[in-house]
Amino acid sequence: MVFMRVDLEEIKREFAKFLKRKNMKVTQSRLKLIDLIAEYGKHFEVEDLVNWIATRADKNVSRSTIYRTIKLLQEFGVIKEVIKLNNRTIYEFVAGKAHHDHLVCTECGKIIEFVNEDIEKLQDEVCADYDFLPSHHRLEIFGICSECKAKG
Amino acid sequence: MVFMRVDLEEIKREFAKFLKRKNMKVTQSRLKLIDLIAEYGKHFEVEDLVNWIATRADKNVSRSTIYRTIKLLQEFGVIKEVIKLNNRTIYEFVAGKAHHDHLVCTECGKIIEFVNEDIEKLQDEVCADYDFLPSHHRLEIFGICSECKAKG
DNA sequence: ATGAGTGCAAAGTATTTGCACGTAC
DNA sequence: GTACGTGCAAATACTTTGCACTCAT
C-alpha cells in the first residue's frame, strides 16, 4: 500500500470541475475510480486493476467504465501511460508529481523514476530545431537494475 | 519507395549466420521477409505489412511467419519497435543506421528522426547514478510538427 | 424529465499457438 | 530421414461498442 502525498479529495473536486467544463456528469463511478486507483498503488495495468476491483464487493466499477474513465483521467492529467513493453501498457497515477522518466529492469520488471532537467532542456532544443511544438514525451531506458546485476 | 543505403545481401548473409548460431534454419521465408520489409519502406505496422505482402503473389509469407520472423529480426537488431501510440506499434528497419530518437506528430502521424549525443550522454550518467546497466532506450516526443502548426 | 453514464455481452484488433504438412540440413 | 519451420484456422489478450437500464442534472 502506497500512501499518496496528494489530497485525493482535492483531486476529485478538480476532476468534477473538469467534467462539468466538458458538460459531462459527475458520477459515483468516476469519483470512486480515483479512490480505487490511489489505493491500488502507483503503477498498474488495466487488466490487473479490473480484477482487483472485481474482488471488492463494496466498490464495484465495471471493466467498460474503468476503460472509459481511464481515458478521461489521462486527459485530465492525473494518469499517464508510462511504459509500453511487449504488449503491456503500464499506467501511473501521477497526481501532484513533477514530470519524470523511467528506468525499466527487463529482468525483474522494477520501474525506477528519475528526473533530469538537463535532458528536458535538450529535448526542448531539439524541438526548437525542428520547429516542433512538443506536448509531452516518454523516455524509457531498458536494462538491468542494480539488484539483478548483483544476482548475476 | 525508399532506397536503402545498406546492402541487403550483406544483411541477409549476417542474418543467416545469426540463425545458424542459434541452430535455426535459414529458410526462404526468413530471407524473403528482409527484402519485403526493405521494399515496403522504413516505418511499418505489422498488419499493414501483412496486407501488402498478401497482394504480392510472387513472394508470399504468412501472417504467422511474419510475426515470428519479426521477433527474430528484432533480436538480430535490424528492426526496432519505435513508436507505441494508442494500440499501434510502429516498427522501423534500422539496418546500418546509428541510434536515433523520434518526434511524433499527433496531428498527421509524421515521424521525424533526430540524434542528440548530449541526451545520450546524460542518459548514461543517469544510469550510472542508479547503478543501472542500460541495454537500449526509447525516447518519443509527441507534439505538433511544423507543417501542421502552420495549417493551424 | 431526459439525455448521458453504466454494465453486460458481443464485437473488434493485434498477436500467439496447435497441428498437419513442407523443407533445410 | 528427421526435426524445425510454415500456413492455416482457432485461440488468446486487450480494448471498444451496441443496447437496455439507471442516474445526475
The distance of B3 to chain A (nearest Cα, Å) reads 24
Task: Tell me what pLDDT residue B2 has.
Answer: 43
Nucleotides of C under 7 A from a protein CB: 4-9, 13-18, 23-25
Does residue A87 approach strand D to less than 7 Å at its CB?
yes
| Chain B CB within 8 Å of residue A146 CB | yes
Contact B139 A134 (CB under 8 A): no
Residue from B119, B77, B13 nearest B91 by CA:
B77
Task: Tell me what pLDDT residue B1 has.
Answer: 41
- Chain-centroid distance of CA A82 in Å reads 6
Task: Tell me what pLDDT residue B52 has.
Answer: 92
User: Which residues in chain B land under pLDDT 70?
Assistant: 1-6, 57-59, 96-97
Amino acid at B135: S
Task: Tell me what pLDDT residue A3 has.
Answer: 46
Give strand letter and number of the nucleotide nearest A25 (CA to C1').
D24
Cβ atoms within 10 Å, residue A109: 14
Task: Tell me what pLDDT residue B81 has.
Answer: 86
Q: Are strands B101-105 and B133-144 parallel, antiparallel or unpaired?
A: parallel
Task: Tell me what pLDDT residue A34 has.
Answer: 95
Which triple of cell numbers denotes residue A145?
537494475
Contact A142 B136 (CB under 8 A): yes
For strand C, list residues 77-136 of chain B whose Cβ lies within 7 Å of it: 87-89
H-state helical runs in chain B = 8-21, 28-40, 46-54, 63-76, 117-129, 146-151
Return the residue of B nearest to A110 by Cα. Answer: B132
Task: Tell me what pLDDT residue B120 has.
Answer: 94
**Domains (range + CATH), chain A:** 8-93 (1.10.10.10), 101-151 (3.30.1490.190)
| Chain A CB within 8 Å of residue B54 CB | no
Task: Tell me what pLDDT residue A59 has.
Answer: 67
Which triple of cell numbers denotes residue A15?
476532476
Percent of chain A with pLDDT over 70: 92
User: Which residues in chain A land under pLDDT 50?
Assistant: 1-4
Contact A133 B127 (CB under 8 A): no
DSSP bridge pairs for B143: A134, B105
Q: Which residues of B touch A133 (CB under 8 A)?
A: 143-144, 149
Task: Tell me what pLDDT residue A5 has.
Answer: 55
pTM comes to 0.78
Residue from B41, B36, B34 nearest B92 by CA:
B41
